[in-house]
A = this chain, B = another copy of it.
Amino acid sequence: MKNLAHLTTPAFLVDRNIVEQNCTRMREKARASNVVFRPHVKTHKTIEIARMQHGGATGPITVSTLAEGEFFAGAGFRDITYAVPIAPEKLDRAAALASRIDRLNVLIDSEAALRALEKHGRRWDVFLKIDYGYHRAGVEPEDPRSLTLAAEMARSPSIRFRGLLTHAGHSYNAHNVDEIRAFAREESAALNRFKTLLTTAGIDDVVRSIGSTPTASVVERFDADEVRPGNYVFFDAFQAAIGSCAPADCAVSVLATVIGSYPERGEALIDAGALAMSKDLGPDHIDPQFGYGVVCDLELRPIGARLVTLSQEHGKIRTKDRLEVGRQLRIIPNHSCLTAAMYDVYHVVVDGELAGEWHPVGGW
């Protein structure tokens, strides 16, 4: 990693070969499972990686903001799911985006949102968000009102009812692969049960869309019609801790420089603080002392130190070793999505050498 010395730190490094390997593995699994592959792009927010997710082409994608939708539409992605429940105030902008591409799927989980779509006066492609236990967004699949809402959507002349979408976000609470597999089975089972109810009610052609990197990474084969993982392109310290990936699958790190050395109190400071790392606590359900990332040397070998405190531009490391001022370290972030979003530029690393820059879209 000799030419890293010329980068201003903190800097966000992306290992292109690892990203490609992560992309290929997930794409192949989707193909072998005969499901539609609609990866999430919110983790990386770059055209380059979105194309890698589809083997060098454009294809269906999932976005978390309309700004992402507009950015990727401009780069030729024409089949997009906006996978956050849509707010009525965003409908004009979503309609403008939809008119530029082949299909924009939006997401709702309430009568109120259905009424807002109907009032807007265009025909919308819509998924019903299902909550099978994460308790963030979505309707309860066992609640009879959920079937009523789905039936209303299927009947509405303002809507093309696309299907059921769920996100097993609580798989992030898992402690190991077995627990993640149990979440994955229950995710598919919940959708299957609800789809059966719909079929009985005469509602057909219902797409079952699932997605979370932990579940998608550990299953042998997908039991769904469509999958939407996103974080798998980078993985991170959290995913490695719960067993979604091996540590060597982590494709990103923050390059930092030691700016203070305090061996008498077993501490050092780096120039990567909260704005360089994000303040995501990581897998604290597995290790409450995990810290804000895995502290590694330039070859990405953990050095047995903990990143214990972050202020705006300072990161405090606790270590038994003396870390000299000026030494460079690499920190594998807890949560690559949030860390990546702190940067306007990603430095691409190939075989240990800098090989270009990628620029993510930001904002909303």
A interface residue numbers (CB < 8 A to B): 5, 8-11, 42, 64-66, 84-90, 93, 109-110, 112-113, 116, 135-137, 169, 257-262, 265, 267, 269, 271, 274-276, 278-281, 309, 311-314, 316, 324-326, 328, 337-338, 341, 343-345, 362-364
- Given A89-B328, A112-B325, A135-B265: 4 more A-B contacts, CB < 8 Å: A9-B89, A42-B312, A110-B325, A136-B260
Chain B residues within 8 Å of A328, by CB: 89
Given A261-B112, A265-B135, A269-B136, CB of A325 within 8 Å of CB of B88: yes
Contact A257 B169 (CB under 8 A): no
Residue in B84, B279, B313 whose CB lies within 8 Å of A42:
B313
Contact A338 B274 (CB under 8 A): yes
User: Closest approach, in angstroms, between the C-beta of A305 and any C-beta of chain B?
Assistant: 16
Chain B residues within 8 Å of A8, by CB: 66, 89-90, 93, 364
Q: Which residue in chain B gives the minimum CB-CB distance to A65?
A: B313
Chain B residues within 8 Å of A113, by CB: 325
Q: Which residue in chain B gives the minimum CB-CB distance to A67?
A: B8
Chain B residues within 8 Å of A363, by CB: 343-345
CA distance A279 to B344 in the complex (A): 19
Residue in B109, B309, B325, B344 whose CB lies within 8 Å of A87:
B325
Contact A326 B110 (CB under 8 A): no
Contact A64 B313 (CB under 8 A): yes
Q: Which residue in chain B gives the minimum CB-CB distance to A341?
A: B275
User: Closest approach, in angstroms, between the C-beta of A336 and any C-beta of chain B?
Assistant: 11
Chain B residues within 8 Å of A345, by CB: 363
Contact B344 A258 (CB under 8 A): no
Chain B residues within 8 Å of A344, by CB: 362-363
Q: Which residue in chain B gives the minimum CB-CB distance to A116?
A: B326
